[in-house]
């Protein structure tokens, strides 16, 4: 180890529902963690916003909390890795660092019509960016801010405004406004970067009306990327790794070989399959940069399910069915099956493989015998049904059936859900010892960036399995459930239109 006595790496994880800092040791074991909630604001139907200042404040508070948990100083941290909810868009003033509008969150689809208007270019956009022309991504969100905040476009054209996804925003603030950067994995989610060249694409910038002066520098995922301002963090610490949270989770899951697949069950559900050096184009899935490390760029096929754990949150906070997310398992276990109830959580439209911003949520099959437990079970099952559809498309697109699904994220703690996922997909579901793989991936990148770990094979040797869920369901039952799910989904399509 080339380091002195301090071998701690801090991962800053700015997710959708919370900010987190986890401090890992040189074996990739978490030593301290601190998590703080983030407020989600729903100002109008289909709009989702967050306060960028709250994001940063909570992230700093987490850093302090994790340090004091371990009773160490900022100077004891060797490196910081950043990981974040992707696509979420922040625009701020270069001179003051003040955001000119709340962060428009990835789930927000106020720009649906804007996307429709550009429909004629969707194939060209897909070939360059690997993405769908969907309000999910950053480009139309930036444009919306420039078009709706008074004076914003003129200021942007004068070079006075900066855009960043949440990683850029965090790094800008951590470095005291000295560094405006984003790594290639985050850039690949904006609809503005060409995933083959790894650069901003001028034609796309013109099409979306985004001045190039607003954009951050695109960097690899690890190396000497930036340094924290001692006035902000209490020490000058290298920021040596950064990646969007889903790519980071794939690294934390050690999905380093083509074909390896992970699913993160957070607010949304995100399946990523490593496709190596090729970025395949799919009609239903996204092609995205997995990471760029040591000059090598690796790609992934991604299926993004917009609502996964968030359906549990809705039952908890919206309907008050239970008090903690974990309680859904107890409630859902009170019944043997879904009692023929299906819940399609198309609250913000449907992501992969449908990409239907007009679909809306639905519960169907309710009778006088339907109980709270059936609704809870249908909600949990909906997470697995959606992820299973992505998995089936992935296997069909690549011609390579998934051998095992590595899982992580908040809802992966739910054994009932994991068993149902294995049953439905007919694939072993494997849960690692460290389920905070998103933070772990960022820590790995940061550690690689300062030479704490040498390469991916060293990291692979640190990955440990906690439990495997083997499929047990009969093929008949699997086919029946899938058929019923499809019937339910069909009824939600295009509702808003
Ligand atoms: N035991 C559980 N069963 C089902 N869902 C859960 C459980 N624990 C947490 N969740 C859900 O997982 C999500 C939080 O996961 P997390 O990975 O922290 O999300 P994010 O990174 O998107 O903020 C929440 O939506 C929560 O409702
Ligand atoms: O906050 P998460 O973990 O649900 O992740 C959000 C994704 O990055 C959105 O693409």
Whose CA is closest to atom 7 on ligand 2?
85
138 lines ligand 2 (CB under 6 A): no
- Alpha-carbon gap, residue 495 to 17, rounded angstroms: 27
Instruction: Look at residue 3 in the predicted model and tell me its pLDDT.
Output: 43
Residue 414, annotated as binding a ligand = yes
For β-strands 181-183 and 217-219, DSSP reports them as: parallel
Instruction: Note the residue count of the chain.
Output: 497
Q: Which residues pair with 432 in a beta bridge?
A: 465
- Alpha-carbon gap, residue 300 to 250, rounded angstroms: 9
Whose CA is closest to atom 9 on ligand 1?
410
Residue 136, annotated as binding a ligand = yes
Compute the 3-state secondary structure of the chain and give helix, strand, coil in percent, each to the nearest 5: 35, 25, 40
266 lines ligand 1 (CB under 6 A): yes
Instruction: Look at residue 434 in the predicted model and tell me its pLDDT.
Output: 86
Show the beta-strand stretches assigned E in 260-334: 261-265, 269-276, 286-293, 296-305
Atom of ligand 2 nearest to the CA of 310: 4
Where do the domains of the chain lie? Answer: 8-245
Segment holding 344, helix H or strand E: strand 342-344
Whose CA is closest to atom 5 on ligand 2?
85
Q: Are 138 and 190 in contact (CB under 8 A)?
A: yes
Q: Is 119 exposed, middle or buried (0-12, 13-18, 19+ CB in 10 A)?
A: exposed
Instruction: Look at residue 5 in the predicted model and tell me its pLDDT.
Output: 52
Q: What is the CA radius of gyration of the chain?
A: 22
Residue 313, annotated as binding a ligand = yes
Instruction: Look at residue 376 in the predicted model and tell me its pLDDT.
Output: 97
- CB atoms inside a 10 Å sphere around CB 143: 18
248 lines ligand 2 (CB under 6 A): no
Whose CA is closest to atom 1 on ligand 1?
326
- Alpha-carbon gap, residue 24 to 30, rounded angstroms: 4
For β-strands 90-93 and 161-164, DSSP reports them as: antiparallel
For β-strands 103-104 and 49-50, DSSP reports them as: antiparallel
Whose CA is closest to atom 10 on ligand 2?
86
Tell how far CA 81 is from the center of its chain: 16
Dihedral sign computed on CA atoms, order 204, 42, 39, 342: negative
Atom of ligand 2 nearest to the CA of 266: 4
pLDDT in tens, 338-378: 999 999 999 989 999 998 989 999 999 999 999 999 999 99
Residue 76, annotated as binding a ligand = no
Whose CA is closest to atom 21 on ligand 1?
15
Atom of ligand 1 nearest to the CA of 245: 21
325 lines ligand 1 (CB under 6 A): yes
Pocket probe for ligand 1: among 244, 248, 267, 383, the residue whose CB has the most ligand atoms within 8 Å is 267
Segment holding 243, helix H or strand E: strand 238-244
298 lines ligand 1 (CB under 6 A): no
Atom of ligand 1 nearest to the CA of 16: 23
16 lines ligand 2 (CB under 6 A): yes
Residue 17, annotated as binding a ligand = yes
The predicted complex's ipTM stands at: 0.96
248 lines ligand 1 (CB under 6 A): no
Atom of ligand 1 nearest to the CA of 38: 23
Dihedral sign computed on CA atoms, order 139, 140, 146, 150: negative
- CB atoms inside a 10 Å sphere around CB 178: 12
**Nearby residues of 45 by Cβ (< 8 Å), 6 or more positions away:** none
The stretches in the chain having pLDDT less than 70 are: 1-6
Show the beta-strand stretches assigned E in 15-160: 18-24, 30-37, 49-50, 77-84, 90-93, 103-104
**Nearby residues of 57 by Cβ (< 8 Å), 6 or more positions away:** none
Distances (CA, A) of 59 to 15, 39, 64, 287, 412: 10, 13, 9, 30, 24
Q: Are 204 and 129 in contact (CB under 8 A)?
A: yes
Q: Is the peptide bond before 353 cis (omega within 30 degrees of 0)?
A: yes
pTM: 0.91
Whose CA is closest to atom 6 on ligand 1?
411
Residue 492, annotated as binding a ligand = no
15 lines ligand 2 (CB under 6 A): yes
Distance 415 CA to ligand 1 centre (A): 13
Residue 194, annotated as binding a ligand = no
DSSP 121-168: GHHHHHHHHS--S-TTSHHHHHHHHHHHSTTHHHHHHTT-EEEE-HHH
* Tokens coding 332: 């859902």
Instruction: Look at residue 4 in the predicted model and tell me its pLDDT.
Output: 45
Pocket probe for ligand 1: among 34, 48, 269, 309, the residue whose CB has the most ligand atoms within 8 Å is 309
Atom of ligand 2 nearest to the CA of 245: 8
Instruction: Look at residue 6 in the predicted model and tell me its pLDDT.
Output: 65
CATH fold of 8-245:
Nucleotidyltransferase; domain 5 (3.30.420)
- Alpha-carbon gap, residue 58 to 68, rounded angstroms: 15
């Amino acid at each position: 180890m080339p380091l002195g006595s301090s071998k701690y790496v801090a991962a800053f994880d700015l997710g959708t529902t919370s900010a987190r800092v986890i401090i890992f040791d040189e074996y990739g074991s978490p030593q301290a963690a601190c998590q703080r909630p983030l407020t989600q604001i729903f100002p109008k139907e289909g709009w989702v916003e967050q306060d960028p200042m709250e994001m940063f404040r909570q992230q700093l508070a987490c850093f302090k909390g994790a340090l004091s948990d371990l009773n160490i100083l900022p100077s004891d941290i060797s490196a910081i890795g950043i990981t974040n909810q992707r696509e979420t868009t922040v625009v701020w003033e270069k001179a003051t660092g003040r955001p000119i509008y709340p962060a428009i969150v990835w789930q927000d689809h106020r720009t649906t019509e804007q996307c429709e208007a550009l429909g004629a270019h969707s194939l060209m956009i897909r070939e360059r960016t690997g993405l769908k022309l969907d309000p999910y991504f950053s480009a139309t969100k930036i444009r919306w801010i420039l078009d709706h905040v008074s004076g914003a476009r003129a200021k942007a054209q004068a070079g006075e405004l900066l855009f960043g996804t949440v990683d850029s925003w965090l790094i800008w603030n951590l470095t005291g406004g000295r560094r405006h950067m984003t790594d290639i994995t985050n850039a690949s989610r904006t609809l503005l970067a060409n995933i083959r060249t790894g650069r901003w694409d001028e034609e796309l910038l013109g099409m979306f009306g985004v001045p190039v002066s607003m954009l951050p520098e695109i960097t690899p995922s690890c190396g000497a990327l930036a340094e924290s301002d001692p006035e902000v963090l209490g020490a000058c610490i290298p920021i040596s790794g950064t990646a969007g949270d889903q790519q980071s989770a794939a690294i934390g899951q050690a999905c380093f070989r083509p074909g390896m697949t992970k699913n993160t069950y957070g607010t949304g559900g995100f399946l990523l399959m490593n496709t190596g050096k090729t970025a395949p184009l799919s009609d239903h899935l996204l092609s995205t940069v997995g990471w760029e490390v040591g000059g090598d760029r690796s790609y992934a096929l991604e299926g993004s399910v917009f609502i996964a754990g968030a359906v549990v949150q809705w039952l908890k906070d919206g309907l008050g069915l239970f008090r903690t997310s974990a309680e859904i398992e107890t409630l859902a276990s009170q019944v043997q099956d879904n009692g023929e109830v299906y819940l399609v959580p198309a609250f913000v439209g449907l992501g992969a493989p449908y990409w239907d911003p007009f679909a809306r949520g639905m519960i169907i099959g309710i009778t006088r015998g339907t109980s709270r437990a059936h609704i809870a079970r249908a909600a949990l099952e909906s997470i697995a049904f959606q992820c299973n559809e992505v998995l089936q498309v992935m296997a069909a697109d690549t011609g390579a059936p998934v051998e095992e699904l590595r899982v992580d994220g908040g809802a992966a703690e739910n054994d009932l859900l994991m068993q149902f996922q294995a049953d439905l997909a007919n694939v072993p579901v494997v849960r690692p010892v460290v389920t905070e793989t998103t933070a772990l991936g960022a820590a790995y990148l940061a550690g690689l960036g300062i030479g704490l770990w040498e390469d991916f094979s060293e990291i692979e040797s640190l990955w440990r399995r906690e439990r495997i869920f083997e499929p047990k369901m009969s093929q008949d039952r699997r086919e029946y459930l899938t058929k019923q799910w499809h019937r339910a989904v069909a009824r939600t399509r295009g509702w808003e239109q």
